[in-house]
Structures are given as structure tokens and as C-alpha cells.
Chain A
Amino acid sequence: MVVSGGESESQAGPGWGFQSGAKITIERLGKVFDSRNGRVEALRDVSLVIPNGQFCCVVGPSGCGKTTLLRILAGLDEHTSGRLELAHHDQAKPLNSMVFQEQSIFPWMTVDDNVAYGLKMRGVAGKQCREVVDYYVEKVGLTAFRRAYPHQLSGGMKQRVSVARAFANDPEILLMDEPFAALDEQNKALLQEELLKIWEESKKTVVFITHSIDEAVILGDRVLVMTAHPGTMKADMEVKFPRPRHVYELKASPAFGELVYNVWSQLRDEVLRAKQEEQVQGGAP
């Protein structure tokens, strides 16, 4: 196991063994927005290159702008400075699809209709749409619930629908914003395994935001650590565990614990700093 990168805050190190170049290039990206309490700088000078096909996890203290970064990548928010480049290789596919943190599947649609949403929005209909939907509904183990509405599903099942919806849309980049944060430990492990299995079939470029170091190390080819507010890149670590990976086997290995510890030692100062800032803000009138 190799931990590379260390303090490097900018470019991806050379020798990422992935196909055909950069998928996402971010240069000195900044985001400032006006809130009631004045200007807030969410992101500062974020620079990053994510190669095609990489599973890239981003960890950081809460409130560090991880979600903002992801929303900018998704085109849901706009950055205020710097440059962002997304390579769209196959124009027939959508560029990105997002799996949101909170409950985001439509309560008024059945499981099937939710999974088919992206396809229908880009005009894929009929048999082709149905086949893709069948495939992913089965992949996430919801075949028995395909005509159920979300209020009949558990939290874990809802997130499965959300993941299936994103994969069914077949985007070039998957953006995942703490998709399993609200789940209990066992469900989380199950969904992580399922995600790994589905991802390993397609090898899409993934940007996965999480506050769980374990999760980042289990899933990612690479773990990026962000600083506390305003968010910027602090450390960049390669995760070289072989694939296919299995959650609990991986967790049992000493190398896993070592890497988790390394990530934590990068993150600890930032978490403490975030906490201090919170207290200062909380203390102010």
C-alpha cells in the first residue's frame, strides 16, 4: 500500500494508471456567496485533476464546502472564480448525474418511474428504457418493490432507488453527496458493496463526498482531504487496494487501518479548526 501525495494541494500526481486523460480539471476554483451574515467564502483556490474512470472520494470537516464543490460540478451552482473543465467524451450520454444526500426520489412516482426518470427526460422510451430500468432495479434488489411508492420503502431502499436512478441514466460522471450518511451501519455496508459491484462493471468517473474516512478508503481509488472553511484541498492520497473489494474483508486488514489513520491525521487539525471557528461564531453576539 502506498500513500502518495501528502501535502500536495494541487495537481494529481503523475502515474494515475487510468485511461485517456483528465475527466475533470479544476483550477483555483473559488466560491463566494452573499448570506444574511455577509459574504461567505465557501471554497478557495481548489485545484484538482480527476482522471477518467477514477473513483475519487473527498472528505472534510462538516461545513467545509464539499457539497458546494459537488453542486458546482453538477452545474447546480456557479463558481465565482477560477476555471472548471469537464470533458464530455460521448455526447449521446449525459455528462453527470447526482445522487443526493437527503431523500431526493420523487414521492409521487413508483420505484420504476423514479429509476426511469433520467432516461425519460432525455427521450429514451419504450423497450430500451424498460430494459435498463429492469436491469438496475434488479441490481439494487428492489424487483419486488418496483411498483411501490417511496412512502412504502425504508431509508436504505430509498437510497438504493436514488443510486439506481443515477446509474440508469448512464452518465459519464457520477456525483455522490454523502449518499449513505443517513443509513445505519449494516445498511451502509450493504449499499457500499452494491455500489462497488455496480461501479466495477462500468468504471465511470465518480466524485464521492463523505464525512466517513472508512467509507472513503473502502470505496475510492483516491482520497482527497479538504480543509475547514473556506474549503481548499489539503491532502491527496492514493488507495491501492485491489478490486473487487469487499467491505468487511477490507476493514479487517491492517493496511486499511493504517490508511484510515493517515487520513485522520490529516483531517484532525481541520476538524478541530472547524470546531473552534464554530465556537467563536457561536460566542459572538
Chain B
Amino acid sequence: MSQGSITIEQAATIPRVHVRSGVGENGRARVSRDTAEKVIALLAPVLLLALWELLVRVRLLDARFFPAPLSIPGTFYNLAFVVPWQGALPNHVLTSLSRAAVGFAIGAIPAICIGIVMGLIPLVRAALQPIIGALFPIPKVAILPLLMLIFGLGEQSKWAIIAIGVFFQVLIATAAGVANIERIYLDVGRNYGASRLATYRTIALPGALPMIFAGIRLGWGVALLLLVTAEMVSAKSGLGYLIWQSWQTFSVEEMYVGLVTVAGIGIVSFWLLDALESWLLPWKARS
């Protein structure tokens, strides 16, 4: 028998060898898939806009309601740099942002303080829980007329409605965050002689901070919503006013500038919140 051939008995016992080679240190297959996903994520909206532009040009889309995307930058430029400051985009943005910021601060700061006390002291929680439970579900927009009656048409009524909306979101998240802190951490505080104030500062606040941040995120979303609503109803400036005004004068391009700006503010502010969170919570394990 020649050396190369094998008998049937031998063939039956020869194992089949499975060979798998490593993908290399950089896991090349994985990297190229990641890149592909990123490219598609960027490309998809661009393609959608291009399609939109095309449909308007061939008159399949009504330019009165869906103006061609390429007509927006011109309007944007005009609103931002050409028109007088009073009606200019930067003025609207600044006015809106300052309203949102002031209202947010008025709502969020007391909410965090009260929320911590509620979370730590069961008696306080028992007293406040039903009141909050009854007030929270009221759509905040419904009390806007009442607030305008109380605070007038000026800035105060806008601050008030935003503050109220933010207050409940942050309060509920904070109270839940503090109440859900593992008991053992409070035991440690007691065993190591932490005063009540030190317990708030070193245990309750940092322990609840991840939940508080979730509340702040929700609260900021509510703030933007109420801001635009309040500005549509009673304001002479701001992005809500700009959008509403464009509807009344039927200048759809300007309306789109307002919409895109509001969307941009939303996106950027949530980015900033993300950055703030990872700066304030370096101890959170991130996946």
C-alpha cells in the first residue's frame, strides 16, 4: 500500500479538524461593520432631504406646506443676519433660552431639596405624596390661563408654567431616587456618626444623583414643550412666537426655520446634559 492512501478502518477514526483563526487584534470584521453603520446613519437623513427636494421640484409635494429644503438656508440667513434685531432669530433664541433656564431653575432646585427630604423622612413623604399624586396628572398647559391671570402677560407667567412642569418631574424622580438608596449606605452613615446634614450631602444627594439626572432630563423636555406653548399663546418674542407668527402670516419657510432651531436646541441641550452627567457622575459604570 502506498503511503498516501488510507484504509477504511483508518478513515473512520480520523477526526475532522475544525480550524478557526482569530479575527486579529482589531477585530477587523467588527470595525468595518461599525463604520458602515455610521455612514448609513449620516447618509439616510441626507438622502431623505434629497428626496424631499426632488419631490418638490417635480411638484409631487406641495411647496406651500413642504417648502424645498434648499430654500430654508436662505430664509435662515435672512432671519439671522438681515432683519432688525427685534425680529431676528438670535434674539428669539436668547429670549427663549433665558425663559427656559429661569423657569427650569425655579422648578428644579426646590424640587431636588424637597425630594431629598421626602425620600429620607417617611412622615414628610406620607404628607406630600397624595398632594403630588393629585396635582401631577393635571396637564400643565391647562393652568396656563390661570397663571396668566395671576402673573400677567410678562415673563413671570412663562417662568411659572415651566417651573411647575419641571418641578413635578424632578421632585418625583428625586424622591424615588433617595427612597431607593440601599439602606446599608444609611446604616454606614449612622455607624460612622454622620450628622443629618452630612447624611444629605454625602449619601442622599450623591446616591440619588443618577435618578435626579433622569428627572432633570425629563424636566428639560417638559420645559421646552411648555416654553414653546406659552410663547405661542402670549409673547412678542421667542421661538414659539416665531413659529406661531409664521403661521399667521403664512410664511412657511420661516416656520421651518423656527422648527429646525427648536429641534437643534433640543439636541444640543441633551448632548450638554449627557456631558454634564458623565462629568458629575464619574463613579457610574458605563457600558
Contact = CB atoms under 8 A, between A and B. Distances in A.
B67 interface: no
Contact of B283 (A76, A102, A149): A149
B191 A98 contact: yes
Q: How would you classify the secondary structure of chain A's contact residues: helix, strand, loop or mixed?
A: loop
Contact of A100 (B184, B202, B209, B283): B184
Contact of A108 (B184, B192, B198, B283): B283
Contacts of A284: none
Contacts of A106: 185, 188, 202-203, 206-207
Closest 7 CB pairs of A and B: A108-B206, A151-B285, A149-B283, A118-B192, A108-B283, A98-B191, A121-B193
A75 interface: yes
Interface string B250-287: 00000000000000000000000000000001111100
Contacts of B64: none
B203 to A, nearest CB: 7
Given A97-B192, A107-B283, 15 more contacts: A75-B191, A76-B190, A94-B193, A96-B191, A98-B187, A98-B191, A100-B184, A106-B203, A108-B281, A108-B283, A109-B206, A121-B194, A149-B282, A150-B283, A151-B285
B193 A108 contact: no
Contacts of B190: 75-76
Contacts of A75: 190-191
A151 B284 contact: yes
Interface in A92-136: 94, 96-98, 100, 102-104, 106-109, 117-118, 121-122
A151 B193 contact: no
A76 B190 CA distance: 8
Which of B193, B198, B207, B282 has the most C-beta atoms of chain A within 10 angstroms of its own C-beta?
A: B193
B11 to A, nearest CB: 47
B198 to A, nearest CB: 6
B184 A121 contact: no
A109 B283 contact: yes
A102 B183 CA distance: 11
A118 B198 CA distance: 11
Contact of A121 (B198, B209, B282, B283): B198
A161 to B, nearest CB: 12
Interface of A: 74-76, 94, 96-98, 100, 102-104, 106-109, 117-118, 121-122, 149-151, 165, 169
A109 to B, nearest CB: 7
A89 B156 CA distance: 61
A76 B203 CA distance: 17
Given A108-B206, A108-B207, A151-B285, A117 B192 contact: yes
A94 B185 CA distance: 19
Contacts of A104: 184-185, 187-188
A74 B191 contact: yes
A94 B184 CA distance: 20
Which of B189, B192, B203, B209 has the most C-beta atoms of chain A within 10 angstroms of its own C-beta?
A: B192
A106 B192 CA distance: 13
Interface in B148-204: 184-185, 187-195, 198, 202-203
A74 B192 CA distance: 10
Contacts of A103: 184
Given A76-B187, A149-B282, A118 B193 contact: yes
Which of A75, A102, A107 has the most C-beta atoms of chain B within 10 angstroms of its own C-beta?
A: A107
Contacts of A100: 184, 187-188
Nearest to A162: B188
Nearest to B283: A149
A103 B184 CA distance: 8
A205 to B, nearest CB: 16
A121 B194 CA distance: 5
Contacts of A109: 206, 283
